Amino acid sequence: MLGCRPVASPIDPKIKLTKLAGEKVDRERYQRLVGRLIYLTHTRPDISFAVSVVSRYMHDPRKDHMDAVYHILRYLKGALGKGLIFRKHGHFNIEGYCDSDWASCADDRKSTSGYCMFVGGNLVSWKSKKQSVEQGQQQKQEYRVIVVGVVEMLWLRTLQIELKMNQESQMRLWCDNKSAISIANNPVQHDRTKHIEIDRFFIKEKLDSGILKWSHVSTEDEVADCLTKGLGPVSLSRLCDKMGLVDIFRPS
């Protein structure tokens, strides 16, 4: 693939892969390629969503699935020098972004969730994954990814305490779903929270204790958006800049 033509995004935003998308291809070759890409996601959050999509079909890969893998390789060809850069910002505050794409999987209508965590202004943790169970309500699956994000933030806070670098600062979680934020701040909405009682009480406890602050962010500035859906080149480039991804080969 060294002689391929580069593309500007790791996955086509218009593509909708399904289980029976084309003829069968060499499964071992497909698994080797995707396996290597999975390792690469440990340092390249920009391809996390695309790799999570193609990894769903490891057991029975088809032509369209392989084409999607080649698309990722073409994107990497044009961004060989891209990686995370860590800068000193004078603090160790924990901030997180979480998002979900409701019923995005064309096969089983399960949602895709994603989060990314910053410590001291630098990206240190991220995840893009299709949820394991079907979510009948959008608020329910939003709360599920938020709870997972809060657990990750609490783990980072515990790690800071063990390393003697905790500044007792308030953790901040950003989300673009105003309805979910409203439910957390208004426990009276019983008809909308009866399916997420445990999650709601867990988040409410952290909010009341003062260690967590939940804020709304516009969809355009939702960093975790690139972990739940395919984006165009402009949106992807803007969010990659926010995550701290820098291409060392790009002319200054």
d(CA 242, CA 4): 28
- Kindly state the average pLDDT of the residues 188-207: 64
pLDDT (average), residues 182-196: 57
Cα distance between residue 76 and residue 63, in whole Å: 20
Closest CA to 129 of 36, 239, 48: 48
Break the chain into its structural domains and give their ranges: 1-80, 94-225
**Edge-to-edge order in the sheet of strand 171-175:** 122-130, 112-119, 94-101, 171-175, 212-216
The CATH class that applies to domain 94-225 reads alpha beta
Q: Is the pLDDT score of 251 beyond 70?
A: yes
CB atoms within 10 A of CB 216: 13
Contact 98, 115 (CB under 8 A): yes
14-73: per-residue pLDDT in tens? 888 888 888 999 999 999 999 999 999 999 999 999 999 999 999 999 999 999 999 999
The average pLDDT across 62-91 equals 93
Percent of the chain predicted with pLDDT > 90: 48
pLDDT in tens, 110-150: 888 899 999 999 999 999 988 776 555 556 667 778 888 88
pLDDT attached to residue 252: 63
Mean pLDDT (whole number) for 171-178:
86
DSSP assignment string, 1-25? -TTSPP-SSSS-TT----TT-SSB-
Q: Give the pLDDT of residue 191.
A: 46
Q: Of 122, 36, 116, which Cα lies nearest the Cα of 76?
A: 36
